[in-house]
Amino acid sequence: GGRVFSGIQPTGVPHLGNYLGALESWVGLQGGFSSVLYSIVDLHAITVPQDPALLRENILDMAASLLACGISPAHSIIFQQSQVSEHAELSWILGCLTSMPRLRHLPQWKMKSKDKKEGSVGLFTYPVLQAADILLYRSTHVPVGEDQVQHLELAQDVARIFNNQYGELFPIPQALLSASRRVKSLRDPASKMSKSDPQRLATVRLTDSPDDIVLKFRKAVTDFTSEVTFDPERRPGVSNLVAIHAAVSGLTAEEAVRSARGMDTAQYKLLVADAVVHKVAPIRIRAGVIWRAF
């Protein structure tokens, strides 16, 4: 039983972080619930400026990538958010039940509005749109990373407020917390890997060629110690490599470190690149086939 909802923004070709942090678990949820909905959330993408032609292309890119990762239309509903106008309609209704201070305290708003002098109203209220995405389908389960827990709590609160005022309509959606797998930028291990990062070498995309993947790992920022250890606080660069290696190979971080015994970080980078190529190559090949069919 139960209904799963999740979304991804069409802001570029998805990357290793999107895959390890979300898409891989999305694949696994298929079949375990009575319905599973995955949305390409273009209304969320326009909370920051977008070029219309590029956005259209990114939506198709994302659809191809989702299919290539193993999300199957036979087992889940894959759709473009803006094609269902009720997302925006319900968002308005829920926005009327949400207080401004409640939104102002959400960490992502605090973070994102800090770099911009004035964030848009859309950026401010996008957690309400997220609540609408989830509640519109009366979803019961939402796969989320740690960074999204507070947004899900908003959806839960607003569902309760609505149910209290107007009668039981929405189930209270539960988090499906995935093991935290934050993939960091290969150029700056203090920040997360991101689709819209302008530094080409920072992000490993699911459509990168093996040569490109090797190049990006060879250039990955580490530190001046050549030994391979796992210490995210003090050695974020090398630890990111270990975490990626562990995730794509089904190892624990300790096992990954052990497999690097006798290697320096330069040699280890090639080992990690190879493990990533192994994981990503089949996805890239399938995405290419799907693209040509579009």
Q: Answer yes or no: 216 catalytic.
A: no
Does 24 bind ligand AQP (CB under 6 A)? Our answer is no
For ligand AQP, which is the closer residue by CB, 162 or 186? 186
The piece of 51-59, 179-187, 255-263, 277-285 that touches ligand AQP (CB under 6 A) is 179-187
For ligand AQP, the nearest residue by Cβ is 21
Q: Answer yes or no: 195 catalytic.
A: yes
Residue owning tokens 């106008």 = 85
For ligand AQP, which is the closer residue by CB, 180 or 226? 180
Amino acid found at 38: Y
Nearest residue to 276 via CA among 167, 223, 203, 175: 203
Does 194 bind ligand AQP (CB under 6 A)? Our answer is yes
Q: Strand 3-8 and strand 35-40: pairing?
A: parallel
**Is 154 within 8 Å of 201 (Cβ atoms)?**
no
Min separation Cβ 155 and ligand AQP, Å: 14
Nearest residue to 135 via CA among 124, 151, 122: 151
**Distance separating alpha carbons of residues 43 and 9, to the nearest angstrom:** 8
Residue of 24, 147, 153, 157 that binds ligand AQP (CB under 6 A): 147
Tokens of 268: 């280890």
Catalytic residue among 195, 216, 269, 279: 195
Does 196 bind ligand AQP (CB under 6 A)? Our answer is yes
Nearest residue to 38 via CA among 153, 182, 149, 137: 137
Count of residues that interact with ligand AQP, criterion CB under 6 A: 19
**Is 190 within 8 Å of 184 (Cβ atoms)?**
yes
**Distance separating alpha carbons of residues 253 and 159, to the nearest angstrom:** 39
For ligand AQP, which is the closer residue by CB, 23 or 159? 23
Q: Answer yes or no: 117 catalytic.
A: no
Kindly list the catalytic residues. Answer: 112, 192, 195
| Residues at the interface with ligand AQP (CB under 6 A) | 8-9, 11, 17-18, 20-22, 145, 147-148, 181-183, 192-196
